[in-house]
Amino acid sequence: MKYKEPKIIKEKKVKKEASIKFWKVFFIQGGLFLLTSVLAVIGAYELNKLAQIKKIYLPTTSLQDFLFSFLFVMFFVLLFVLYRNKKVNKFKEIIYKGLFIITVFWGGMTVLNLFMPVFVAILVMGILIALWLEFAKVWVHDVLMVLGLAGAASFFGLGFTPSVVVALLLIFSVYDFIAVYKTKHMVLMAKEMIDKKVILGFIIPKEIKYFKGKLSEIKPGGNFMILGGGDVVFPSLLAVSVVPSGVLKALVIVLFSLAGSFFSYWLFMKEKEPIPALPPIALFAIIGYLLTLLF
């Protein structure tokens, strides 16, 4: 005799499984987000101490200079992505990989050199990059992104005032919305990066076991999600910018940014299509910053 589950029990089971899956994925995404942000704050704290005793020089950056530099770089990146030529396409992957390696190596060296001798930091980054080139595993890629973004945020964030970073968050939130929903060039760039196996963002596996997967296995609608590097580094810049005023304030911003990351993930799971992740993250980060002004 076969027993048929009542419909209401079956629906509850499906909802429970969906809820478990939802939290599993966010645990991975939130963990990578939090690790990068906290490491950026710790790195900035150490860099700020060195700057105070004048052992290093940290450049300051104005809003105009940053926007000009960004627009300049993006103009050529878009031209490169949109330009379709067989000869150029053969070299695209090599160029993307070269830029990725330079970026993560510099950022990783910035943060690792604060806690270990320079030759050890070079050895660690060299091994990770060699593993990335040879085996192209998801976990290696994400480790490199954590180190690269944390180093970049800790170095450049101290050169901004909080008000400038707030302005950048607002500007790039609007840009993110337009780039995803209107011009859609951000979606095109993401597809291009996936195709060339060079992703400037975090690869979020839907199960921890997929961390062992290869970059070649990543495809839209598969076992992975993509969280853009900018969606992590911009709120980290805000947290780092307040480090001179206190690490606790920076960590408050980190926690609010994490809440924004959760809200962004919830929206993505609801829409089931690419969304601009930065606006909700920026909103929560700014709320966190405003709260720090009260103490």
Greater pLDDT, 20 or 38:
38
> pLDDT tens-digit profile of 171-218?
999 988 988 888 887 777 778 788 888 888 999 998 888 899 898 888
Q: How far apart (Å, rounded) are the C-alpha atoms in residues 50 and 158? A: 12
Q: How many CA atoms lie within 13 Å of 78's alpha carbon, on the beta-carbon side? A: 12
Would you state the pLDDT for residue 21?
82
The structure tokens 């150490």 sit at 46
> pLDDT tens-digit profile of 48-99?
998 888 777 677 776 777 777 767 676 666 666 666 666 666 677 788 888 8
Check whether 3 has a pLDDT greater than 80. Answer: no
Would you state the pLDDT for residue 113?
93
All structural domains of the chain with their residue ranges: 13-292
Model-wide pTM > 0.75: yes
Token pair for 20: 């478990």
Would you state the pLDDT for residue 77?
65
Q: Is 43 within 8 Å of 114 (Cβ atoms)?
A: yes
Percent of the chain with pLDDT over 70: 85
Would you state the pLDDT for residue 198?
86
The structure tokens 């997967």 sit at 213
CA distances from 64 to 35, 164, 171, 182, 202 (A): 30, 10, 12, 25, 28
